[in-house]
Amino acid sequence: MSLQEEFPPCGGREIEDRQRFMAELLCVVLISTLTWAIFRFITKNSIGSVNSVAFNITYILLAPVVFLGPVMYYWVKYREENGLPVRLFVHDSPQATFNERMVKYLLLIGVSLTIVNFMLELILDLVVLKSGLYGKTEIEFLWMDDIDSTFAYIIMVITHLAVVATVEEFFFRGFLQDQFSRVVEIWQSILISATVFAMTHIPIAIFIYEIEGIWLFTALINWFGFGLAAGYLYHITRNIWVVVAWHGIWNVTVSTIGYTFLIWEIPSEGLENFVWTLQTLLVNASLFLCIYFGREYLAEFGRFQNIPVKPESIEVKL
Highest mean pLDDT out of 142-146, 188-192, 313-317: 188-192
pLDDT band with cut points at 50, 70 and 90 for residue 106: very high
pLDDT digits (tens, 9 = 90+) for 211-229: 999 999 999 999 999 999 9
- Kindly report the average pLDDT of the chain as a whole number: 91
Within 10 Å of residue 138's Cβ, how many Cβ atoms?
10
pLDDT at 217: 94
* Per-residue pLDDT at 309 exceeds 60: no
* Distance separating alpha carbons of residues 20 and 22, to the nearest angstrom: 5
pLDDT band with cut points at 50, 70 and 90 for residue 312: very low
**Is 149 exposed, middle or buried, given 0-12, 13-18 or 19+ CB atoms closer than 10 A?**
exposed
* Per-residue pLDDT at 29 exceeds 90: yes
Across 194-213, average pLDDT: 92
Which residues, in sequence order, are CB contacts of 248 under 8 Å at separation 6+?
Answer: 110, 160, 161, 162, 164, 165, 166
Torsion of CA 81, 85, 87, 91, to 10 degrees: -20
* Distance separating alpha carbons of residues 19 and 162, to the nearest angstrom: 34
Q: Which residue has the higher pLDDT, 312 or 274?
A: 274
Instruction: Indicate the length of the chain as a whole number.
Output: 318
pTM higher than the cut 0.75: yes
* Distance separating alpha carbons of residues 246 and 250, to the nearest angstrom: 6
* Per-residue pLDDT at 292 exceeds 90: yes
